């Protein structure tokens, strides 16, 4: 009789049995996978590469992706931001209108339609939302408003790598806000920031919201959400109280060196043969590197910019580009350029009589120095006792230096700690770049025509899945946070020929499947195989139905601990509801 009941149950239950799920686990790690999350998602049968940077999401990954998207949808609904979706296939004319087409050359997937019309696959959607939404807003009464999509993006990365961390086709949450005033944008930005923190918390990703570079179109300030992970390509600087966190590109630190006041000494030109580095120069002249001012010639937007910085600091080129408000990234002049422009090698470049320089910008550490060593604009010659204003001019002082670990943060003056991390989100106060260039205007309450004020917000959803695995795994298994785990309860039957174990396994499946996502491993596999696969599937709770089931005892194992505990069947329900709800 019991057997017929369990057959009936089979028929009635639409549960996932592991024997029908497609989970092609691998014993070996493919050699080209170096990131832990990439290895685990390949070994666990979550993803398969179709071509470089392009992946198939097999059932396990798809279940996780759908749960993450559901969390996003719930949190966007909580801040009254409706979901929509834009086409993937876009006319290039939109990007001509915004002026961005030439900027993103090789990274943009371009194609022609049958009539030869220039088209592209969307890498992001500022233009599309400005066109389709922005241009349909005519009055301040229609704002503030924001919309979002969860959509596949296409970017022809030069070096796709680390599995879903840097792909050429990936899922992004991207949202855009439209406002009549800065105050409305500030509120929208804060709402999004708050919602993002909740999304990451529910998805189980530890993130730091950090001060980030906005780039040329990104408006003035932006916040990145950085997930600490060894494989991360970014570095963030944080202090131990959490009152300061910034992408290293933007991080500031207090300069602890304070030069004493000195009498100005006479400028003197010195031969300094074979001093190619600051250290060699410092040794040769018996001066500390804080008395040497490095002069580096940069080519920025086709201009010759001489950058000065104290000998113990390094130039931060993101800060330099922002200080110069330059369109293109600054690049250091080549040796050939130096020989033709300065008629000196790298070590000989300096600010004294540097008529070739279109602009001289100095890091703040140069201000207040006396009697410094600078290149003489002649190979193997330096000036000593050079002084600002008397011997050379500086057009502008700015913070151009890269912060160093241990230096005091600018808020609480606590030592900066560096962490490698993965950028999983980025939110921008865009301003009016797109609405000006694409003419999306509105009538304000005074009847005056104004450009709409925009914000843009994004999460790399498939990248986030990898970040979750990077933060919740060991080399032999994943322990998914419960809200995104592909299954919450994994029932593993030790002996498929043992009817008693079969009856209890199916009973447990039936009991728990209406409240939880249950996976029953009903395969005819050895226990070792089942356990290794279970480690890769990473369900928060594992119930092992084995020999002691005749005494109403099963084993329960949490994915975050090694050992399992024996438990009577009737205490399971309470234990599980405590663990999972
Ligand atoms: C492109 C290509 C690659 C790009 C972009 C455009 C990055 C581009 C920045 C953003 C800004 C925000 C909305 C969601 C949050 C991020 N790579 N960015 O604009 F054409 Cl090929 O995407 N967009």
Predicted pLDDT of residue 30: 80
CA neighbor of 428 nearest in space, from 103, 202, 73, 126:
126
Instruction: Report pLDDT for 221.
Output: 76
Confidence of residue 220 (pLDDT cuts 50, 70, 90): confident
Flag whether pLDDT at 418 surpasses 70.
yes
Q: Quick one: pLDDT at residue 91?
A: 97
Closest ligand 1 atom to 176 CA: 13
Written as one string, the DSSP assignment of 165-218 is GB-SEEEEEEEEEEESSHHHHHHHHHHHHHHHHHHHHHHT---EEEEE--TTTS
Integer Cα distance of 500 and 504 in angstroms: 6
pLDDT of residue 570: 94
- For the stretch 316-368, pLDDT in tens is 999 999 999 998 999 999 999 999 999 999 999 999 999 999 999 999 999 99
Name the 3-class secondary structure at 220.
coil
Give the separation between CA 481 and CA 489, rounded to whole angstroms: 12
Quick check: 178 and 137 in contact, CB under 8 A? yes
How much of the chain, in percent, has pLDDT values that exceed 70? 97
User: For residue 2, is pLDDT > 80?
Assistant: no
For residues 558-576, give the mean pLDDT.
96
Q: Is the CB of 123 under 6 A from ligand 1?
A: yes
Ligand 1 centroid distance, CA of 217 (Å):
10
Tell how far the Cα of 106 is from the centroid of ligand 1, in angstroms.
14
Omega of the bond prior to 290 within 30 degrees of 0, cis? no
Using DSSP's 3-state secondary structure scheme, residue 139 falls into: strand
SS (H, E, C) 150-180: EEEEECCCCCCECHHHECCEEEEEEEEEEEC
User: In this predicted structure, what is the pLDDT of residue 50?
Assistant: 98
pLDDT of residue 5: 62
Tell me the CA–centroid distance for residue 297 and ligand 1, in Å: 30
Contact 554, 575 (CB under 8 A): no
- Which residue, judged by its Cα, is nearest atom 19 of ligand 1? 124
**Shortest-distance Cα residue to atom 10 of ligand 1:** 124
Please classify residue 222 by burial: count the beta carbons closer than 10 Å to its beta carbon, then call 0-12 exposed, 13-18 middle and 19+ buried.
Answer: buried
In ligand 1, the atom with minimum distance to the C-alpha of 107 is 21
Instruction: Specify the higher pLDDT residue, 11 or 295.
Output: 295
Please work out whether the CB of residue 104 comes within 6 Å of at least one atom of ligand 1: yes
Ligand 1 centroid to 153 CA: how many Å? 10
Whether the CB of 430 sits within 6 Å of ligand 1:
no
Residue pair 120/460 in contact (Cβ under 8 Å)? The answer is no
pLDDT band at 7 (very low <50, low <70, confident <90, very high): low
Pocket of ligand 1 contains residue 144 by CB under 6 Å? no
- Where does the pLDDT of residue 31 fall: very low under 50, low under 70, confident under 90, or very high at 90 and above? confident
Residues 6+ apart with CB under 8 A from 62: none
Separation of 205 CA from ligand 1 center, angstroms?
A: 22
* Pocket flag, ligand 1, residue 426 (CB < 6 Å): yes
Identify the residue whose C-alpha is closest to ligand 1 atom 9.
Answer: 124
Q: What pLDDT is recorded for position 375?
A: 97
> Which pLDDT tens digit goes with each residue over 366-404?
999 999 999 999 999 999 999 999 999 999 999 999 999
Counting ligand 1 atoms within 8 A of each CB, the residue from 104, 124, 166 with the most, and so the one to mutate, is 124
pLDDT tens column, 96-125: 999 999 988 899 999 999 999 999 999 999
CA-closest residue to ligand 1 atom 17:
123
CB environment 533-553: b (16+ within 10 A), e (fewer) = bbbbbbbbbbbbbbeebeeee
Q: What value does the mean pLDDT of the chain take?
A: 95
Digit-coded pLDDT (tens) for 11-20: 555 577 999 9
The reported pLDDT for the residue numbered 14 is 55
Task: From the CA of 173, give the closest atom in ligand 1.
Answer: 14
Q: Best substitution site from 123, 126, 127 to test ligand 1's pocket, by max atoms within 8 Å of Cβ?
A: 123
CA nearest neighbour of 315 among 329, 334, 301, 335: 329
pLDDT of residue 218: 76
Q: What is the pLDDT of residue 145?
A: 98
How does residue 168 score in pLDDT terms, banded at 50, 70 and 90?
A: very high
Question: Mean pLDDT throughout 56-79?
Answer: 98
Question: What is the CA(126)–ligand 1 centre distance, in A?
Answer: 8
Residue with CA at minimum distance from ligand 1 atom 22: 124
Q: What is the pTM of this model?
A: 0.94
**Residue 322 near ligand 1, beta carbon < 6 Å:** no
User: What is the H or E stretch that residue 474 is in?
Assistant: strand 473-474
Distance 123 CA to ligand 1 centre (A): 6
Q: Is 121 in the pocket of ligand 1 (CB under 6 A)?
A: no
Q: How far apart are CA 566 and CA 548, in angstroms?
A: 9
pLDDT tens digits for range 124-161: 999 999 999 999 999 999 999 999 999 999 999 999 99
CA of 433 to the centre of ligand 1 (A): 14
104 C-alpha vs ligand 1 centroid, how far in Å?
A: 9
């Amino acid at each position: 009789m019991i057997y017929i009941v369990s057959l009936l149950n089979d028929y009635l239950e639409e549960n996932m049995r592991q024997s029908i799920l497609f989970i092609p686990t691998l014993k070996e790690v493919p050699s080209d996978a170096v990131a832990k999350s990439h290895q685990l998602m390949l070994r666990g049968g979550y993803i398969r590469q179709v071509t470089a940077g392009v992946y198939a999401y097999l059932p396990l990954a798809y279940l996780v992706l759908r749960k993450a998207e559901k969390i996003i949808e719930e949190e966007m609904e909580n801040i009254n931001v409706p979901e929509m979706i834009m086409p993937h296939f876009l006319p290039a004319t939109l990007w001509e209108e915004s002026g961005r087409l030439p900027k993103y050359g090789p990274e943009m997937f371009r194609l022609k339609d049958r009539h030869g019309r220039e088209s592209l696959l969307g890498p992001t959607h500022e233009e599309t939302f400005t066109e389709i939404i922005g241009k349909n807003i005519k009055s301040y009464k229609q704002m503030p408003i924001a919309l979002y999509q969860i959509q596949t993006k296409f970017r022809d990365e030069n070096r796709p790598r680390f599995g879903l961390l840097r792909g050429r086709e990936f899922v992004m949450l991207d949202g855009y806000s439209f406002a009549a005033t800065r105050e409305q944008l500030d509120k929208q930005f804060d709402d999004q920031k708050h919602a993002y923190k909740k999304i990451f918390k529910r998805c189980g990703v530890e993130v730091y919201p950090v001060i980030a570079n906005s780039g040329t179109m990104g408006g003035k300030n932006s916040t990145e959400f950085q997930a600490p992970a060894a494989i991360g390509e970014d570095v963030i600087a944080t202090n131990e109280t959490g009152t300061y966190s910034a992408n290293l590109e933007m991080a500031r630190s207090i300069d602890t060196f304070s030069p004493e006041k000195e009498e100005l000494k006479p400028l003197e030109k010195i031969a300094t043969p074979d001093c190619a580095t600051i250290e060699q120069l410092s040794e040769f002249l018996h001066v500390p590197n804080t008395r040497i001012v490095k002069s580096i010639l940069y080519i920025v937007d086709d201009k010759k910019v001489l950058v000065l910085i104290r000998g113990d600091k390094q130039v931060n080129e993101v800060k330099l580009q922002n200080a110069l408000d330059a369109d293109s990234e600054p690049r250091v002049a080549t040796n050939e350029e130096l020989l033709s422009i300065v008629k000196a090698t790298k070590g000989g470049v300096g600010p004294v009589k540097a008529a070739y320089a279109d602009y001289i910008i100095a890091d703040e550490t140069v201000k207040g120095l006396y009697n410094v060593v600078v290149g003489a604009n002649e190979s193997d010659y330096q000036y000593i006792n050079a002084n600002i204003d008397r011997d050379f001019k500086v057009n502008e002082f700015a913070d151009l230096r890269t912060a160093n670990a241990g230096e005091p943060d600018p808020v609480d003056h606590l030592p900066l700690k560096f962490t490698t991390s993965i950028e999983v989100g980025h939110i921008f106060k865009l301003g009016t770049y797109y609405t000006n260039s694409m003419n999306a205007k509105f009538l304000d309450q005074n009847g005056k025509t104004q450009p709409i004020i925009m914000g843009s917000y994004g999460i790399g959803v498939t990248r986030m899945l990898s970040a979750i695995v990077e933060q919740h795994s060991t080399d032999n298994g994943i322990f998914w946070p419960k809200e995104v785990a592909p299954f919450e309860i994994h029932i593993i039957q030790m002996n498929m020929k043992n009817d008693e174990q079969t009856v209890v396994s199916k009973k447990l499946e039936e009991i728990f499947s209406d409240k939880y996502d249950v996976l029953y491993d009903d395969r005819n596999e050895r226990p070792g195989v089942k356990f290794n696969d279970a480690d890769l599937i990473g369900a928060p709770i594992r119930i092992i139905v084995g020999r002691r089931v005749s005494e109403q005892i099963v084993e329960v194992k949490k994915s975050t601990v090694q050992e399992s505990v024996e438990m009577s069947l009737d205490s399971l329900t309470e234990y599980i509801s405590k663990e999972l709800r």
